[in-house]
Structure 1
Amino acid sequence: MSAWLANYAAFLSDRQADIWTALREHIVICLIAVLFGAVIAIPVGMLLAGNRKGWLNGLVFTIANILQTVPSLALLAILIPVLGIGRTPAIFALFLYSLMPIMRNTFAGFQAVDPNVIEAARGMGYSTAQRLLQIQLPLAFPYIMSGLRVTTVYIISWATLATLIGAGGLGQLIFSGMGVNKKELIVTGALLAVLLALLADFVLGLAEKWVTVRTKSAPAAGTETAG
């Protein structure tokens, strides 16, 4: 065991440039995909929560569900003729996968807000935008962050397949290790993917707690100045 650890340490020293490159590529791919997903899915979830047309909600969630169930390899294969190979189709595929959990949690968060709270804010003169941003959004924020955390972990895992279309990332280490039967590459790629997912979840959890504490008194503060 000690001999293997010594060899593994030597491997890390020799291949640290390649490892850091793969890690950086993986982070960029995941960050862009989740960011774009949040920019689209959160506003859509908010709009659907306030929408009174049930058929529209059903249609949007059905489309998102269909995208979620398409196997990742199949989706990548479908995108190659349209977007080619490399980072762009990988980011787009991961972006599509990120939509459903973020949108669903945003929708659930806004639906969970007590109607009496909204009605009280309306009676105190809050506009629709004020109710949305100062009342509903802070109360729904834990749901939204939960969706972001779950999505980020999934995306980091799924992004390892991006290397199959030339996007790089930690999957490059894993598949290269499988190709040359080098366990060090496989272990490094898999371990870094796990650690990256855990770190991302931890950081987002801290951000959730910080924002929740900062916004906890926002409705009360807004109530004092609404008149």
Structure 2
Amino acid sequence: MTTSETAEVTQTLLAPPPPAPPRSRVSWQKLTFLPAFLVAVLLATWLWFERADLDPLSENALSNGQVSKALWQHVRLTAISTFFVLIIAIPLGIVLTRRAFRGASPVATALVGMGRATPAVGLLALLVIWLGPGRKAALIGIIAYAVLPVLSNTIAGLKATDPTLLEAARGIGMSPLGVLSRVELPLAVPLILAGVRTALVLDVGTATLAAFEGGGGLGVLITTGITDQRMPVLMLGSILTVALALLVDWLASLAEVLLKPRGLEVG
């Protein structure tokens, strides 16, 4: 790299970030459409259940706060698994892109590809055999399945950093930690957030399988509706699961836009 190119990139690193452009992508219509749609769907579902003639089995499955309990269990499973996914996948992705461990990155990428091809229900079944039924097995299965997109996106985002930026950052005296925190991670944030968004939706979907392991959640309503052949119970469990997945995806997409760093893109 020539002296003039180095100076140009160094100036880019040291210059204060330009004012953020107007976020036209986040219009109030986009912000309110999905929540309004979900409220309308849930309201219509509630009105239908208020007027529906449920048999004793269906009433028993939906009474005594069992719906709110299942929903809370599902939200808790999703939140706990997402927390562990973040503290496992992002640091591991950073480690695998460092010089000392870079040779292991292709192996990790291959394992990620294999993991994506593994059915979630098969993994959960193996964990039940190993650990026995319960919330512990369900959480480990959900975490193992949702780690994959965050890990692969973290590795891809850090590897995509322009080498000239890294060279210039080191040239102006930045420490390895400073290069990581001030250059690499900010530029990788969009890809990492996209992986987190995918992981959140996977968490919500995979958590329905926790019912087969005694982990609770909305999957209890779904399995009850299937085994007892009670369509209202099955519909309610399915509608709440889809609504929760859409809400989580909407919140993640909003965070993806709001948390995306401005002013570091070099093009």
Give your verdict on TM over 0.5: yes
Deviation string 1:50-104 (CA, Å, 9 cap, x unpaired) is: 3366641122223333333332222222212432211110000011111211111
Q: Which residue of 1 aligns with 2:249?
A: 201
Q: State how far apart, in whole Å, the 1-side matches of 2:220 and 2:127 are.
A: 20
- Structure 1 Cα separation of the partners of residues 46 and 259 of structure 2: 42
What is the one-letter code of the residue matched to 1:180?
Answer: D
Distance in 2 between residues matched to 1:201 and 1:90, nearest whole Å? 22
Count of equivalent residues: 215
**Match of residue 25 from structure 1:** 73
Distance verdict in 2 for CA 1:26–1:181, change over 3 Å: same
In structure 1, C-alpha distance between the alignment counterparts of 2:213 and 2:178, rounded to whole Å: 45
Runs of 4+ aligned residues of structure 1 deviating over 4 Å after TM superposition are: 4-7, 10-14, 52-55
The residue that corresponds to 2:138 in the other structure is 90
Unaligned runs of at least 5 residues, structure 1: 220-227
Match of 1:192 in 2: 240
The one-character-per-residue Cα deviations of 1:11-36 (angstroms, maximum 9, x if unpaired) are 69963711111111011112111221
Structure 1 pair 185–209 and aligned structure 2 pair: CA distance change class (3 A): same
- Amino acid in the other structure paired with 2:71: L
- Is the 1:174–1:190 contact (alpha carbons within 8 Å) kept by the matching residues of 2? yes
Q: Which has the larger radius of gyration?
A: 2
Q: TM-score, normalised by structure 2?
A: 0.73
2:262 corresponds in structure 1 to 216
2: CA distance, partners of 1:172 / 1:5? 19
Distance 1:114 1:7 in 2: 56
Do the aligned partners of residues 124 and 208 (structure 1) sit closer, same or farther apart at CA in structure 2, a change above 3 Å counting?
A: same
Rounded Cα–Cα distance in structure 1 between residues aligned with 2:105 and 2:164: 23
Gaps of 5+ in 2: 1-44
Which of 111-120 and 46-55 deviates more?
Answer: 46-55
